[in-house]
Structure 1
């Protein structure tokens, strides 16, 4: 049977781009010491209605466009990471010591603990995403990206599928929902055993859930902050990250894209509850 874990109150969550380098522009403009600008841009000499200033303005507009995406937004690498601003990183919805939340209680079966926590994380992350889902569309989020990392979905045959963020997240939530409600994988009846593949399935679920959190932070934190839900998101992220570290459920390389955030959230300067930065513990289960 699933064990009840301490849940945080999250009930309030209910056109073409031209790219030209400077060298290309110089070649287009020619050598100003040998050619006039008008003749360099307009073979055969200047034409009525055109002036050097007009052409330069057009080139300037073209170069400014090259710094943005087709939808007018700057690439993620150039955008300021709003979620790292102190006014947001300091906010939590509880002062509880998270280390106590993730540690395996004595005399509690490891699989039961994992199943209970993973199910809770799934429900909370799904709820958190639902608050900004109207802003995550195929037009605004054309790929499933987070901090310059693009994720692809793999179908049951292992075929890689490039999809929009809302499509990817729908795949994640649907597949995880199917797993956590499967009695053969997440048993709820007394005496029913967990499958031998349970560990790998839990790691797979956690990887997918991290992708969703990473996308929310990198692509929709502005909306999260506007809704004043950043405290809930920070609390959920801290709890989730400590849990996966405690049981080594994710490769550190997988979560590296948000290392800057985790360092700030777990730092003593931003939070006194920095005991959370302790090293991960290995829980080896006898087979």
Structure 2
């Protein structure tokens, strides 16, 4: 699923695979094919939790194992294509892409599983606690139409607004709104950062809002939110994207490696397989990057300095 360099300059120079942008699936690190080069190329999605993974992995690969790390920001599905082609070596946080997994892992065998990240992800619809406390029935989807006018915005066309982030993230929200017959309009903020800005503004003004959001995510510490209960998830209920009428699953997030890198990547590949941390660990680094505005490398260093017993177990 879901979902998103990690240098200070990346925020300004980030390249994506969107229309009109550079095609990062066609661009490898200049060191990627050099004989004997100790270089690892990692994909960085656009959400801060995934950036936290890469920040810590990059820091340890460079400072403990002596590798150069090259990073490329791209959306989730193009990252699978790039991983299959060997343009990147590893994906550290996948929220579930069964079509890509079937094609590349099971059929082409160009990608192999890298194990659990250690974090369980969950996408859902959330309202702020301050609204749920006054209107507790809003946490049942069957009552959402009752509150549609309270969630209306200038962008939602007379309907209630369901705020989403990037259209590139895993989302069934348009189908859910349609199939559950809800008087709402999905409005995309465009990115996680833009969505956070809107949520924070709503919270500052104590305005009601309904938003697509996910755990783990550091923003819950700043803006407490309550999940709206959608129809229960059952295996296969989301198989047809057009007919989805159920909640999102809880997904143990996975790592994937390029098959060639997994075989010949030496200590780097072994380290990435062993890399596994907790939701609390990820949120600690995410908070430093997103809220405290630390450069990712500095956030990673601070975490590494305080958690030696955790990361030393990852070293080959």
When the two structures are superposed, what TM-score results if normalisation uses the length of structure 1? 0.26
Specify the structure having the higher radius of gyration (Cα): 1
Name the structure with the higher strand share. 2
